[in-house]
Amino acid sequence: MKNYYWAAFIITAVVVAALFLLGQLPDFQMFGRKMRRVDLLSDVRPDKPDTVAAADTVVLEALVERDVVIDYADTCWEGTTCITDYADTTMSGMDHFYAMLDSIDLIDRPVRVAVFGDSFIEGDIFTADLREMLQDRYGGCGVGWVNITSNVANFRPTVVHRFGGWRTRSAVDSIYDRKFLGLNSSYSLPVAAESYVELECTSRYASHVGRAEVSRLYFRADSDTVRLAYSLNGGEPNAIEMRGQGMKVATVSGDIHSVKWTVGGTRAPFWGVALEGRRGIVVDNLSLRGSSGFNFLSIPQETLRQFAARREYDLIILQYGLNVATADRRDYKGYKDNMVQVVGRLQECFPGTSIVLFSVGDRMSKDEDGDLVTMPGIVNLAGYQQAVAVDTGVAWWSLLDAFKSLGGIAAFAEAKPAMANLDYTHINFRGGRRLAEEFFEALMCGKENYDNARAAAQGREIKAQPTTEERQLEQY
């Protein structure tokens, strides 16, 4: 019998040599996907340092500092990812929001927070828990803003949302009418004899949203008279006539557990319904799946100004970036320039409102060895986003740093129970609550600094920084 061991040895040697040669190939793509590099020695090589495109990250110019007129230096609580305020003469920093919290019992409306973002906060993720924490501390009730229609109505646990007879368009659709866009970058046109939107309060996920005291319907009149009807708590409908053209807000008050708005005989664009308290605080979730944040440039400026007058916001939070970052991209200068325009537009249309820009969150991708790492473009994008805050003089909060302090998106996805999806990009409600706790703590640290600065200016005693244990006892 012939011995073929030598042939097997030659074949093995040829295969090993071929694999070594393949390992020397440069990065390449096939069918639009980056191919994983072959490395026979990957298991015995030392681990690579955890650096991400350090040489390509944006280098910030000298950061803008506020004019210091009070002999007090801000402090950051231990273990807190604090807010950095770059406001100087823009009046778009956090001081307005903190001052409104001090006046919360004196003003005849709720203090309002608008959270604009992408699918990261869709369905009231993050905002549901931030709302609950703020309402625990400062009072208020109601879920805030709800679009006329929603693709995630069955997913959102903080309100029961029913609707019918509408055609909805948004700024991320291929076809839409720009002049109809509302603050939520979308609009709904009634296409039935009686189009309706119904909201039912529920406490199945968060407290304080099981009831409301005021409901408001936001739309733009296209004729001299628009006829509406509302029904509270399943009762009989009550007719309303709104006269005149332009932006309109239909309002009804009471002990509200459910409200149904019905419209007919009009082609007016409708934007949303709000459920809130007469005072206290309310947090609006204004997410738009697929948005980069540029959608604000499509909304008519006059519409933005009308919203500023009819639905006053004291704090605007901007959370974007997931739809911008890519694995290999390093230069986000074009994105930065557009976002500077976006923030400038909001500053112009919402003068005096506090604005805080979030960095993009953590997101994982596979490196050339198949290992999960923070996507290289994420760190670069976060640097450019911080530069936006510096250039426009608004506040800045690093969602990425907050993520990293908790182990990153990988730790969220692999937690038991999971706090993020296995796409290593999107958080779930458990993850949203954990990040909301981080931001709420940052807000409270900022508020303490605001209070201490004024105490120092008036010669009063400065409050001592709380310990980690004291903060945990107060929060839980």
Using one digit for the tens of pLDDT, what is the confidence trace for 375-431?
888 999 999 999 999 999 999 999 999 999 999 999 999 999 999 999 898 999 999
Q: What is the dihedral of CA 209, 145, 128, 475, to 10 degrees?
A: -70
* Structure-token match 């250039």, residue found: 391
Q: Which strand (E) or helix (H) includes residue 251?
A: strand 246-256
* 301 & 187 share domain: no
Give the confidence band of 432 by pLDDT, cuts at 50, 70, 90.
very high
- How would DSSP label each residue in 87-107? -SSS-BSSHHHHHHHHTTTTS
Domains: count for the chain: 2
What residue has token string 């244990």? 469
Q: Clarify whether residues 270 and 322 are in a common domain.
A: no
DSSP state of 222: -
Same domain flag for 94 and 147: no
Instruction: Choose one of 220, 255, 280: the last residue of a domain.
Output: 280
Does pLDDT of 301 surpass 60? yes
Q: Give percent of the chain with pLDDT exceeding 70.
A: 83
pLDDT > 90? residue 110:
yes
Q: What is the DSSP string of 127-167?
A: HHHHHHHHHHHH---S-EEEESS-TTTTT-SSEEEEEESEE
Rounded Cα gap, residues 124 and 115, in angstroms: 10
pLDDT at residue 223 in the model: 79
Rounded to whole angstroms, the Cα distance separating 75 from 327 reads 35
Whether residue 34 lies inside any domain: the answer is no
For residue 46, pLDDT over 80 is answered with no
Cis peptide before 417 (omega within 30 of 0): yes
In a shared domain, residues 179 and 319: no
**Assigned domain for 188 exists:** yes
Residues 106 and 166 in one domain: no
CA angle 194, 199, 202 (to 5 degrees): 160
End-of-domain residue from the set 248, 280, 312: 280
Residue 444 lies in a domain: yes
Cα 148 from Cα 170, distance rounded (Å): 12
Residue 52 in this model has a pLDDT that exceeds 50: no
3-state secondary structure (DSSP) of residue 6: helix
Q: Which two tokens stand for residue 169?
A: 């368009």
CA distance 246 to 46: 66
Average pLDDT, the chain: 87
Give the C-alpha separation, 397 to 82, whole Å: 7
| Percent of the chain scoring above 90 in pLDDT | 70
Give how far Cα 68 sits from Cα of 355, 387, 394, Å.
Answer: 20, 21, 16
pLDDT band at 16 (very low <50, low <70, confident <90, very high): low
Closest-CA residue to 249 (of 345, 113, 151, 145): 145
Question: What is the CATH number for 263?
Answer: 2.60.120.1360
In a domain, 3, yes or no: no
Residues 322 and 440 in one domain: yes
Note whether 331 and 358 are same-domain residues: yes
Question: Which two structure tokens, joined as six digits, stand for 226?
Answer: 């628009």
Q: Which helix (H) or strand (E) holds 188?
A: strand 186-190
Backbone φ, ψ for residue 99 (5° rounding): -65, -40
Do the domain assignments include residue 404?
Answer: yes
CB 438 within 8 A of CB 407: no
**Residue appearing with tokens 């704090």:** 315
Q: Identify the residue with better confidence: 42 or 221.
A: 221
In whole angstroms, give the CA distance from residue 444 to residue 84.
13
pLDDT attached to residue 390: 96
- Residue range 248-267, pLDDT digits in tens: 999 999 999 999 999 988 99
For residue 177, the enclosing domain spans 141-280
pLDDT band at 367 (very low <50, low <70, confident <90, very high): confident
Copy the structure tokens of residue 225.
């008279």
Instruction: Point out the least confidently predicted range of 21-25, 76-80, 354-358.
Output: 21-25
Dist. CA 150–CA 70, nearest whole Å: 47
Q: Is 383 helix (H, G, I), strand (E, B) or coil?
A: helix
